[in-house]
Structure 1
Amino acid sequence: MEIAITDGIKVSVETFYLPEYSVPSRRHYVFSYKIKIENLSANKIQLLRRNWEITDITGEVRNVVNGKGVVGKEPIMIPGESFEYNSGCHFPSPCGKMSGTYVMRKIEDNTLFEVQIPEFTLVPSFFNN
C-alpha cells in the first residue's frame, strides 16, 4: 500500500492485477486500484478535480487524465471522515505506474489546494515471485 499525506489529507492506494480480464498473449494487462482519502485536517473539504499521469514500463506516458471529481462524485468530507473508491486501467505492457494530484476546496473559505496522490506501481503478482 502506498500512502501520502498533504495538508492533513491522507491518500492510500492499494493495487490489484486482474488476470481474469488480462490477455498477455495480446499485450493486454488489466489492473484495478482502491483509493482511500481521509480528512485528518480540521477543515471541511471537497474533492473537485483529479489529475493523473499514467506511464507504462518503457517510461512512455500512456495517458494524462484531468477531470471533474472521481468516479462521477465530488465528495465532501468533514474532519475525521473518509471516502473510498475503486477504479482501473490497462496497459500493453505488464507493468506501469500512476501518479497525480487532487484539487480540493476548503468549504469554510473556498480556498483551493492540491493533494498528492502517492505514485504507485501496477505489477502482476507473478512478477514478484
Structure 2
Amino acid sequence: MLQLAAHDILGCCVQCLVLGAAIYKTWRDSHRVGREFSYVIKKEKKKVFLCRLWDIISVRAGLKKVPWDGYLNYSRHSPKHRDRKTEKFFFLNCTTGQLHVGTVNLATEGEMIPCVPNALISSVHDSNGDQQQDAMLLWLEEHACRLENGMIKLREERGTRSISLFPEEPPFCSTAITNGVKVRASAVFVPEIADLQNENAKYTSSYSIRMSLQREGCIINGIPFSSCQLKWRHWIIRANDHVESDFNGEAVIGKYPLLLPGEREFVYESCTPLPTSLGSIEGSFTFVPGRLADPKGAPFEVEVARFPLQLPDYIF
C-alpha cells in the first residue's frame, strides 16, 4: 500500500501509474524467451521486480510506503468477514496475458475473476498479433486514465490521502438535489469478498453516499433554514429489474449527520451482495429542518437517484 504524501497528489498518482506501466513493459520485453515470458530467469524474479517497482514509485512520487493492514478500507464488513482480514490478490497469467483477482474462495477453491476484457488482450502466443498487449499494461493504463479524467479521485481520510475507486462521474455516479440537499452516490465491485458459488450473493458491491447542504441552505416552500439533520433512510435494491430489498431504517451506519451550508460532504460507505452481476440502488433520506432535538419544520424527503451495481469490465 502506498500512503500519499505529496503536494500535487493527483499528478503524482497519474505519473506513478504511467511510470509503472513503462517499467513493467521494459521489464517484460527484456525477459522474453522467444515469444514467451520467463518469470524465473535468475536475473530478477517477479517478486523482486514488484518490490523494486514499489520502491521506484515511492521515491519518484514522494510517497511513503506503509504496510497494508489487510482490511477493505471505507467499507463495512458483513459478519462473515469481520473476524478475519480480507486481502486482495492479483495474478498475471504469463501464457494468456490475462490479469486475475482472487475471490473469497481463492484459498480453498482457487476461484478468480478476470480483471480486463479478454477481447483487448493479445497473447504472446498469438501468431496473428504484431504486438503483445497483456492485461497488466491495459490495467495500469486504464487506472491512470480514470484518474486523469476525473472518473476516480483522491480523498483524505483522517490525515491520509488515498485513491478512492468510487466513480465520480455519470453514468456510474448519480446526483440529486432536493430542497438544497445534494446527494451523490456510486458503487464499486469488491472482488475479494465475492462468492461465485453462492447463488444468492455472488457479487458484492461497496457503495458510497456523499451528502451536503448547498450554500443557500435548506429551502422548503421558499423558507430557508440554516441546517437540517438526517433521521431516516429508504433503500430499494434491485438485481437486474427484480427488487431484492425494500428497506426502511433510522440513521446511516448509526449516525444522524447534521448538514450545514458549505461544509464538506458527509460520506459513508456500506456493502450489499447481489445474486446477479447487474443491479442498482435508489431511495431517499428523510431530513428534519434544523436539528432532531430542535426541529424547525416538518420532515422532508431527499432523493437518492438510482446508481448502478455491476461487475465492471476492469476490476481494480
Cα drift, residue 78 of structure 1:
1.4
Question: Where does residue 19 of structure 1 map in the other structure?
Answer: 191
Question: Where does residue 212 of structure 2 map in the other structure?
Answer: 38
Question: Where does residue 178 of structure 2 map in the other structure?
Answer: 6
Unaligned runs of 5+ in 1: none
Q: Distance in 1 between matches of 2:262 and 2:187?
A: 24
Secondary structure of the 1:20 match is: helix
Task: Give aligned pairs, total.
Answer: 127
Taking only the aligned residue pairs, the percentage that are identical comes to 30
Q: Which has the higher helix share?
A: 2
Cα drift, residue 26 of structure 1:
3.2
Q: Distance in 2 between matches of 1:97 and 1:78?
A: 29
Q: Give the residue type in structure 2 aligned to 1:20.
A: E
Unaligned runs of 5+ in 2: 1-172, 218-225
Question: Where does residue 109 of structure 1 map in the other structure?
Answer: 296
Q: Distance in 1 between matches of 2:198 and 2:303?
A: 34
| Relative contact order higher in (CA < 8 Å, ≥ 6 apart) | 1
Cα drift, residue 13 of structure 1:
1.0
- Choose from 259, 269, 290 the match for 1:86: 269
Q: Distance in 2 between matches of 1:25 and 1:67?
A: 30
Question: Where does residue 118 of structure 1 map in the other structure?
Answer: 305
Secondary structure of the 1:24 match is: coil
Question: Where does residue 48 of structure 1 map in the other structure?
Answer: 231
Question: Where does residue 257 of structure 2 map in the other structure?
Answer: 75
4+ residue runs over 6 A deviation: none
Cα drift, residue 50 of structure 1:
0.2
TM-score (norm 1): 0.91
Cα drift, residue 124 of structure 1:
1.2
